Chain A
Amino acid sequence: GAVVSQHPSWVICKSGTSVKIECRSLDFQATTMFWYRQFPKQSLMLMATSNEGSKATYEQGVEKDKFLINHASLTLSTLTVTSAHPEDSSFYICIARKDNEQFFGPGTRLTVL
Chain B
Amino acid sequence: AQKITQTQPGMFVQEKEAVTLDCTYDTSDQSYGLFWYKQPSSGEMIFLIYQGSYDEQNATEGRYSLNFQKARKSANLVISASQLGDSAMYFCAIYSDNNNDMRFGAGTRLTVKP
Q: Could you list which residues of chain A lie within 8 angstroms of chain B, going by C-beta atoms?
A: 32, 34, 36, 42-46, 49, 51, 91, 93, 95, 97, 100, 102, 104, 106-107, 109
Contact = CB atoms under 8 A, between A and B. Distances in A.
Interface residues of B, number: 17
Interface of B: 33, 35, 37, 43-45, 47, 91, 95, 100-107
B102 A46 contact: yes
B102 A42 contact: no
26 contacts: A32-B100, A34-B101, A36-B104, A42-B106, A43-B91, A43-B104, A43-B105, A43-B106, A43-B107, A44-B91, A44-B104, A46-B102, A49-B100, A51-B100, A95-B102, A97-B102, A100-B33, A102-B35, A102-B47, A102-B95, A104-B44, A104-B45, A104-B47, A106-B43, A107-B44, A109-B43
Contacts, number: 39
Contact of A49 (B33, B44, B45, B101): B101
Contacts of A51: 100
A62 B65 CA distance: 35
A106 B104 contact: no
Nearest to A60: B1
Contacts of B43: 91, 106-107, 109
Nearest to A109: B43
A107 B91 CA distance: 16
Contacts of B100: 32, 49, 51
